Homo-oligomer: A and B are copies of this chain.
Amino acid sequence: MNPIVEEDERPSEAGAELGPEFFRTVYRKFWLIHRCDERFRAVITSGRASLIYYPVRGQELLAAAMGAVLRKDDYIVTTYRGLHDQLAKGVPIDRLWAEFLGRLDGTCKGKGGPMHITHPETGVMVTTGIVGSGLPIALGLALASQVRGDGRVTVVSFGDGASNIGAFHESLNMASLWKLPVVFFCQNNTYAEHTAYANGTSCAHVVDRAAGYAMRGVRVDGNDPAAMAGAAWAAVEWARAGKGPTLLEADTFRFKGHTIGSSSDYVPKDAIAAAEKVDPLATFRPWMIAKGYATDDQLGLIEGEIEAELDHAVEYGFASPFPPVEELLTDVHGQGVSQ
């Protein structure tokens, strides 16, 4: 944890809200993300669909925890590697599948694709393919909430590599000055494409930069369910209470390379081995049971339900038609009174 956070601001492991039910919700989201990611990889590797996909294997838990903390009307902004964030926020899985496959019933009629998932009903406002560009947009979403006093919080996800681009700097400075209700959620998976953290980022931890914006900065183990949920909860509540932004850095790992099919030769074997030891995929289920938050059967039930939902979603996606060619030139401009 970063020294900028005072002791009394640190959430207890639970907070009143973070009890068994909460963690069952986290588990459901976690498992959905995991299985959905696996199935995307499977349809691609098997050749049934051809698309550029950025796997989220390894980052399921941190997104699930954040998603479980957020209200439905809170806003999120995420990136090309955003499946976990989108699912955790509640985007309908079937429409998400349809979008990934470029179909008319996709969230964006197939026009956006995996890098640009948008679903305002669940608060997924922007998914960007440009590194770092979500942060300035998050400022504006949070600004709107601040002006309206609507109590919404905006969470913007980005990677460790994104912390080196100009937009990061401008956004943290402005958010701090304006005390915007925003959480800068850095998912530090230790790689930016093929570049290891320390070869691109000059400070030991991204959170070290919070002080340069006089901003609350918190680093958390993204593989630890309680710590992660607690840190997410605290950052969101901090923003909701009008106290301003947090830079929240969650340590995690990217197990399946930058994109599906790209090699990971450059990742040292021992780094992978170390990550496997703390992989939530291995640890989160036993933890739920050990904590008494759910029984093996209860979790099995959740898993079964998710499999059925996914079966439906995959079918829905492949069954949906491609958009008609007329769609090419619609949505370029809005109507506007002027037209």
Question: Which of the segments A197-205, A256-264, A322-330 contacts the partner chain?
Answer: A197-205
Q: Is the CB of B202 within 8 A of A177?
A: yes
Q: Is the CB of A203 within 8 A of B214?
A: yes
Q: How far is the CA of A165 from the CA of B176 in the complex (A)?
A: 14
CB contact between A202 and one of B173, B199, B204, B208 (< 8 Å): that residue: B173
Tell me if A318 counts as interface (CB < 8 A to partner B): no
Interface centre among A177, A201, A212 (most CB of B within 10 A): A212
CB contact between A169 and one of B168, B177, B211, B215 (< 8 Å): that residue: B168
Nearest CB of B to A175, in Å: 8
Tell me if A17 counts as interface (CB < 8 A to partner B): no
Instruction: Look across to chain B and name the residue whose beta carbon is closest to the beta carbon of A136.
Output: B166
A172 / chain B contacts, CB cutoff of 8 Å:
202
CB contact between A166 and one of B170, B177, B199 (< 8 Å): that residue: B170
Chain A interface bracket (under 10, 10 to 19, 20 to 34, 35 or more): 20 to 34
Q: Is the CB of B167 within 8 A of A166?
A: yes
A213 / chain B contacts, CB cutoff of 8 Å:
202-203
Instruction: Look across to chain B and name the residue whose beta carbon is closest to the beta carbon of A172.
Output: B202
Q: How far is the CA of A176 from the CA of B209 in the complex (A)?
A: 14
Tell me if A164 counts as interface (CB < 8 A to partner B): yes
CB contact between A164 and one of B170, B208, B215 (< 8 Å): that residue: B170
Instruction: Look across to chain B and name the residue whose beta carbon is closest to the beta carbon of A213.
Output: B202
Q: How far is the CA of A208 from the CA of B209 in the complex (A)?
A: 9
Not counting A165-B170, A173-B202, a sample of 11 additional A-B residue pairs whose C-beta atoms are within 8 angstroms of each other reads A164-B173, A166-B166, A166-B167, A168-B169, A176-B202, A177-B200, A177-B201, A202-B212, A202-B213, A202-B215, A211-B212
Q: Which 7 A-B pairs have the closest CB atoms?
A: A166-B166, A169-B169, A209-B212, A176-B202, A212-B212, A202-B213, A173-B202
